[in-house]
Structure 1
Amino acid sequence: MAHTSTARRRFGAALGAFGVTAVTAAAALVGMAGTASAHTPDFSAECSAEEGVTTLQVELRAYNARESNTVKVTDGDTVLAQEKFGENFSQEWNDLDATVDHTFVIEVQAWDDPNGDRGWSFTRELGVGACVDQTTPPEEPQPSEPPATTEPSAPVEEPTSSEAAPPVAETTEVEPVALAETGASVALPIGIGAVLLAGGVVLMVVVKRRSRA
C-alpha cells in the first residue's frame, strides 16, 4: 500500500509539472503569434503619368494603444502629417505634383519600442521620380498689328501780302513849340497905364487950381 501511494504521488507531480510546462509553452506561442501580427506598418508611393499625380499611402495597424504613438510624414521640407495615434493610423495623399521628384520620409515612434530594437519604431525613406514632363505649351503667335500710319499734317499757310497784318502806325512825339518872347506884349499895357495915371494926376491939379481961382 505504501508503495502504491508513493507511485501515485510521483505520477501526480509529474503530471502537474507537465501541465505547467504545457501552459507556459502555449502562452509563449500565443505571445509570439501576437508579437508577429502586431505593430504592422504598410506604406507605398508611386507616380502616375496617366493621372498626372504622385500618390503616397501610409498605414500603421495593430499598435499598442495603451499609450500614444507618434507618426510624422514629410515630403522634402514640407510636413504632410505629424500627429499622435493609438492602435491604427491610415492616410493617403493622391494629389501631389507629378512633375517633380519626391523624397518621402516616414518616422514612427511606438511608446513600447523607444529605441527601435523591435522594429516598431523606425524611419523609412521613399523616393519617387517625376513622371510628367514640366513643359508649357508654346504660346500662339499673336497677329502683328500694322504700324500706325500718321496722316500728314496740313501745311501752315503763310499770309500773303494782301492778307498781311496791318502795319502798326508809328507815333511820333510832337515837341512843344516855344513861343517867341516879345517885350511889347507886357510893356505896352504898362506904358498905357502909366500915361493914363499921369494924365489923371495932371487933370486933378488943373481942377484944383481952377477951384481956387
Structure 2
Amino acid sequence: MAHNSTSRRRFGALGAFAVSGMAAAALVGMAGTASAHTPKIDAGCAEDGSWLKVELTQYNDKQANGIAVAVDGEVVLEEEFGKDFSQTWDELDPTVEHEVAVVVQAWDDPDASKGFSFEDTLTIEACVEPEPEPTLPPSSEPTQPSESPSAQPAPTPSVSDTPAPPTTSVEVEEAALAETGASIAIPLGIGAVLLAGGVVLMIVVRRRGRA
C-alpha cells in the first residue's frame, strides 16, 4: 500500500469483532494459511471529484470481519464483510484536502500482529482551484429622476399692481383746457348776474319816472 500515513484512529464499534487470544489462536490454527488477506487502499484527486477506493480480498470468511471508513472525521462506512470487500467514494470535493481513516478488523488477527487487521490514514491533497465567486454586474436600471415640485400657477396681478398706461400729450392738453374753462366760467356767471341786475334796476327807475 503506497499512501501517506499521518495519524491513527480507532473506531470503538469494531471492538465487537475482536475475539479473545485463546479462541483466536485456535481458530487460526484451524484455518491454516490458506487465506491471503490482501488489503488495498487507493486515493487520488481529479477535476470531477476526489476519490477513495478500498479493496479487501481473500480474507477468511469463517467468521465475520469488520471495516470502518471515516472521511474528514465523519464515519461514512461501518459494516461487516466476509471474504471480499470493495467500495469506492468518488464524489469528494477536489478543491479541498481530505483526511481519510480506514480500520479493518480481521477475526483471525485480533491483535493485528499478522497485518490482516490494521488501522491506517491517508491524505488526499486538493488538486482543483476553487472557482471565484461571481461578482454582480452594476445595475443597468435607469435612475429614477427625483420628483419635481408641482408647477405653481402664476399669480394674477391685482388692479393696484397693474401699471397705469402712460399719459399722452393730447390728454394733458385736454386736461389743461378743462381746468382753464372752469376758471373762466365763474367770472362770466358773476358778470351775467350783475348785468341782469342792472337791467332790472333800469326798468324800475324808468317806471318810477313815469309815475
If the TM-score is normalised by the length of the shorter chain, which range does it land in?
0.5 to 0.7
Partner Cα separation in structure 2 for residue 52 and residue 137 of structure 1: 19
- Which amino acid in the other structure matches residue 72 of structure 1? A
Q: Deviations over 1:143-172 (max 9, x none)?
A: 44332113423244598698xxxxxxxxxx
Task: Give the corresponding residue for 1:98.
Answer: 94
Instruction: Provide the secondary structure at the position in 2 that maps to 1:126.
Output: strand
Does residue 1:128 correspond to 2:124, yes or no?
yes
Specify the alignment match of 1:193 in structure 2. none
AA aligned opposite 1:59: E
SS in structure 2 at match of 1:125: strand
Higher relative contact order (CA 8 A, sep 6+): 2
Query: TM-score, normalising length from structure 2?
Result: 0.54
Identity of aligned residues (%): 41
> Is 1:69 aligned to 2:61, yes or no?
no
Question: C-alpha deviations, 1:19-71, integer Å up to 9, x for none?
Answer: xxxxxxxxxxxx55x35xx11101100001xx331011001111111111110
Q: Shift of residue 92 of structure 1?
A: 0.6
1:44 to 2:42 alignment: yes
Structure 1 contact 52–132 (Cα < 8 Å) conserved? no
Contact 1:43 1:57 in 2 (8 A): yes
Report the Cα distance in structure 1 between the residues aligned to 2:94 and 2:74, rounded to whole angstroms.
16
Deviation, structure 1 residue 139: 2.3
Per-residue Cα deviation, 1:155-202 (whole angstroms, up to 9, x for no partner): 44598698xxxxxxxxxxxxxxxxxxxxxxxxxxxxxxxxxxxxxxxx
CA distance in 1, matches of 2:111, 2:82: 19
Name stretches of at least 5 consecutive residues in structure 2 with no aligned partner. 1-31, 159-211
Tell me if the contact between 2:52 and 2:90 (Cα under 8 Å) persists in the aligned partners. Answer: yes
Superposition map of 1:131-170 within 5 A:
131-157=127-153
> Is contact 2:55–2:86 with CA below 8 Å preserved after alignment?
yes
Contact 2:73 2:99 survives alignment (8 Å): no
The 5 A counterparts of 1:1-213 are: 34=34, 38-48=36-46, 51-157=47-153
CA contact (8 A) 1:104 1:125 kept: yes
TM-score by length of 1: 0.54
Q: Quick one: distance in 1 between partners of 2:149 and 2:60?
A: 92
1:45 maps to a residue whose letter is A
What is the one-letter code of the residue matched to 2:44?
E
Q: Within 2, Cα distance between the matches of 1:70 and 1:133?
A: 37
Output the CA distance in 2 between the equivalents of 1:139 and 1:61: 51
Kindly tell me the number of residue pairs found equivalent between the two proteins: 129
Report the Cα distance in structure 1 between the residues aligned to 2:65 and 2:129, rounded to whole angstroms: 39
Please report how far the alpha carbon of residue 137 of structure 1 lies from its aligned counterpart in structure 2 after TM superposition.
4.8
